[in-house]
Structure 1
Amino acid sequence: MTEEKNKINQIYDALVESEEPSLNIREKEILHPEEPMEESIETFKAAPSAKPVSDSSLNYYDNRNENYQDLLRLIEDAEKEIADLKFRKVLMESDFPTLLDYFKKIFVDEEFSISAIAKGALLEYFTFELIKPLENYGLHLSTNDFSTWESKHFNLSYRLTSANVINFSFMMPTSDGKFRNEKIKLMEVYPESMTVTVLNDAVLTLLKDCYNKHIYTSGQNSMFSREMNDVMAHMKELGFDFDDNLLDNSKPLDLSVDLHHKTPIDVLDRIFITTMNNDNYDFKKVGEHSYLVALDGNQTVTIEQSPKDESSSLKLNTDRKNKSLIEFFGTYPFLVPLTITND
């Protein structure tokens, strides 16, 4: 019994000693790599989540993006070109009021922009509508001169100014079949105000070229006057207003023409001789520097001389007879020298 009791006590003592601080109980060990833990964590955090992109891959994506932007620009340009083509189609189908509306919106008000080709087309169709009566004389667009309409007897060139005024100039074959070297500025068309100014200097130049320089014949001048009066009558129907001018034959001449020269005495002498030899004419001095030429049908020409600035003026009155100055002087060619200078 005693021996068994001792064995039990030994077991108990062993159990009690295992709870003492001196008892060294090893916990379960966790194995780690040889590197320290903190360094391992930092290394893990620094590692990229994806593989690095090579230079060749970067170039590919850059080029692809650049090509994409180029494609967008090409699409935009193509859309603009298609829109411009459609607008030009609309212009071709438009009547004069519609063309006039587009002219004001594009050139005057600048509500929207169109290509240079479309602007040229608009001016082409617009000016054609203005001079449409010349279709009776083979009107067509010139293949030799820019912005020029050709007809059987003369050419008309048009130009749009910065003030949105359309200038018309003309050239006519000379008596030997050639064309005059310089174009003669004929009229100014103001679409915004629907007015037209015919330049009287153009008419005087025609008279001088015909009767002094003999570039044109009186028949050519008469034909030009008749055809351009058809054009002016047509433009009036379109709604344009004209100032009094020397080319208009739709009403009697009753206006004054200022000349930049004084009428030579020898010209007055020749007119005096001509009128004295015709019972239907008369010539008399009515003032210190003024003369009156009386013609048949109560038509008169008054000549006013200005001694101050060496100029003169003609007062024309054809009574109730509708005539242009060209037609008037075609009937009374002896009066043409009144309008001609030697320069």
Structure 2
Amino acid sequence: MSEEKQVEEVETKINEKKIITPDEVEATNLDVEHAVNTADSVSSTKELELSKAELAYYEKKEQNRKNIVDMIQVAESELADLKLRKSLMESDFPELLSYYQELLLDGSTYPEMSTIAQATLLEYITYELLKPLTHIGLKYSLAELDNWETVHFQIRYSLGEGNRLQFAFKMKPINNKYEAAYMDMFELDLDSKEVAINDDQVLALIRYWSVDNLYSSVQLSVLNHELNQLIVHFKTLGFNVDESLLDNSKPLDLHLESAFELSTEILDNIFIITMSNPEYDMEKIGEYGYEILLDKEQSLAVEVNEHGHSNLNIQTGRTNRSILDFFGSYPFLVPLMVR
């Protein structure tokens, strides 16, 4: 074949055009669209799977962060509480009083003070308040919580209304068949620095001794002396102590009402005793009254009031006495007041 003919055949093949039908065009487009949709679907699935994995990861990470924050807060609270307890151990009474006012009366400085820290504060501040009793063996009780003991009696402390500090006392009965109860005696307001004394319990002490024979006269005398030592100590610490029947720092000038009638039997017994002692005397006052004159310019006047009960007027002249001192010295007069 000649060279010219070969060239013509090649050119003919090059210039030939393939004719594509409409059906073939549509089929081709569908294949392309399917391929594109398939690719998008695969891509979306992968993105969705990755999103779930990332979400779980970040959720776990955030939860771990919260756990760490909680642990830090707990650790910081425990550390603050340890530092507080250390400070309490190193504090004297004025500092302990400030802590008491801040923590138990105000509560703003350490709003989450632990039970241990509160117990520590109460132990240390009650010791400072009871310090005069160290000469009779004051020590923290191992048998009862919130309790001090001495060789003569036990002292229980507690928080009353408004977080006022209360002291109750208990002595061992002379008769082992009886179980003595605590007697609420002092209530201390550590905000205003006021001390209130329960006079009803003071009078009850006279009954426990004289009528119930629960305590001896020696026990009554010891308790009276030691409680008055505490009163003096409270005043030294800057507390104002209310007037009470317990205070023996000055002479008595008391006007009391007994719940009992003035019986002939009691008057006869008093008359016999006063007549047998040259330092005593007994005189009638008006129609329904009597005055018992005692030694050291002391006296007790008694008369019947409109309710049939007895009014008592006790004077101890220049002799400093509490009501316990007075009736302890003149037990024959006790039935006028308690029976």
Q: Give the TM bin, normalised by the shorter chain.
A: 0.7 to 0.9
In 2, are the aligned partners of 1:247 and 1:324 still within 8 Å (CA)? yes
Unaligned runs of 5+ in 2: 1-16, 19-27
Secondary structure of the equivalent of 1:157?
A: strand
Question: Comparing 213-222 with 68-77, which one deviates more in the overlay?
Answer: 68-77
Secondary structure of the equivalent of 2:296?
A: helix
Secondary structure of the equivalent of 2:142?
A: coil
Partner in structure 1 of residue 102 of structure 2: 105
Partner in structure 2 of residue 255 of structure 1: 254
Going from structure 1 to structure 2, the CA distance change for 1:162 and 1:216 (only over 3 Å counts) comes to: same
Question: Comparing 222-231 with 248-257, which one deviates more in the overlay?
Answer: 248-257
CA distance in 2, matches of 1:201, 1:121: 31
- Once the two structures are superposed, the pairs formed by residues 35-184 of structure 1 within 5 Å of their partners are 35=30, 47-48=43-44, 50=47, 52-53=49-50, 61-112=58-109, 113=111, 114-176=113-175, 180-184=179-183
Unaligned runs of 5+ in 1: 1-24, 27-32
Partner in structure 1 of residue 314 of structure 2: 316
Pick the structure with greater CA Rg.
Answer: 1
Partner in structure 2 of residue 331 of structure 1: 329
Deviations 1:82-126 (Å, cap 9, x if unpaired)?
A: 101110111111111111112222222232321222122212212
CA distance in 2, matches of 1:179, 1:159: 24
Question: Comparing 78-87 with 297-306, which one deviates more in the overlay?
Answer: 297-306
Question: Comparing 33-42 with 248-257, which one deviates more in the overlay?
Answer: 33-42
Secondary structure of the equivalent of 1:296?
A: coil
In 2, are the aligned partners of 1:165 and 1:190 still within 8 Å (CA)? yes
Going from structure 1 to structure 2, the CA distance change for 1:297 and 1:232 (only over 3 Å counts) comes to: same
TM-score by length of 2: 0.82
CA distance in 2, matches of 1:127, 1:320: 34
CA distance in 1, matches of 2:328, 2:168: 23
Going from structure 1 to structure 2, the CA distance change for 1:129 and 1:179 (only over 3 Å counts) comes to: farther
Partner in structure 1 of residue 220 of structure 2: 221
Going from structure 1 to structure 2, the CA distance change for 1:305 and 1:117 (only over 3 Å counts) comes to: farther
CA distance in 1, matches of 2:313, 2:84: 50
Deviations 1:244-303 (Å, cap 9, x if unpaired)?
A: 212211111122233333343322221122112222112223234432211111111122
Going from structure 1 to structure 2, the CA distance change for 1:207 and 1:39 (only over 3 Å counts) comes to: same
In 2, are the aligned partners of 1:188 and 1:198 still within 8 Å (CA)? yes
In 2, are the aligned partners of 1:171 and 1:179 still within 8 Å (CA)? no
Q: Cα offset for 1:201? A: 1.7
Secondary structure of the equivalent of 2:204?
A: helix
In 1, are the aligned partners of 2:178 and 2:214 still within 8 Å (CA)? no
In 1, are the aligned partners of 2:299 and 2:316 still within 8 Å (CA)? yes
In 2, are the aligned partners of 1:172 and 1:179 still within 8 Å (CA)? no
In 2, are the aligned partners of 1:249 and 1:324 still within 8 Å (CA)? yes
Given residue 88 of structure 1, which amino acid in structure 2 is its aligned partner? R
1:300 aligns with 2:296: no
Question: Comparing 327-336 with 35-44, which one deviates more in the overlay?
Answer: 35-44
Q: Cα offset for 1:62? A: 3.9
Secondary structure of the equivalent of 1:192?
A: coil
In 2, are the aligned partners of 1:173 and 1:179 still within 8 Å (CA)? no
TM-score by length of 1: 0.81
* CA-atom RMSD in angstroms: 2.9
Question: Comparing 311-320 with 126-135, which one deviates more in the overlay?
Answer: 311-320
In 2, are the aligned partners of 1:254 and 1:315 still within 8 Å (CA)? yes
Given residue 183 of structure 1, which amino acid in structure 2 is its aligned partner? Y
Q: Cα offset for 1:319? A: 1.0
Q: Cα offset for 1:35? A: 4.2
Question: Relative to total residues, which structure has the larger helix share, 1 or 2?
Answer: 2
Q: Cα offset for 1:51? A: 6.6
Secondary structure of the equivalent of 1:298?
A: coil
Percentage identity across paired residues of the two chains: 38
Deviations 1:10-67 (Å, cap 9, x if unpaired)?
A: xxxxxxxxxxxxxxx99xxxxxx75477777777666347471497876565444333
Going from structure 1 to structure 2, the CA distance change for 1:273 and 1:122 (only over 3 Å counts) comes to: same
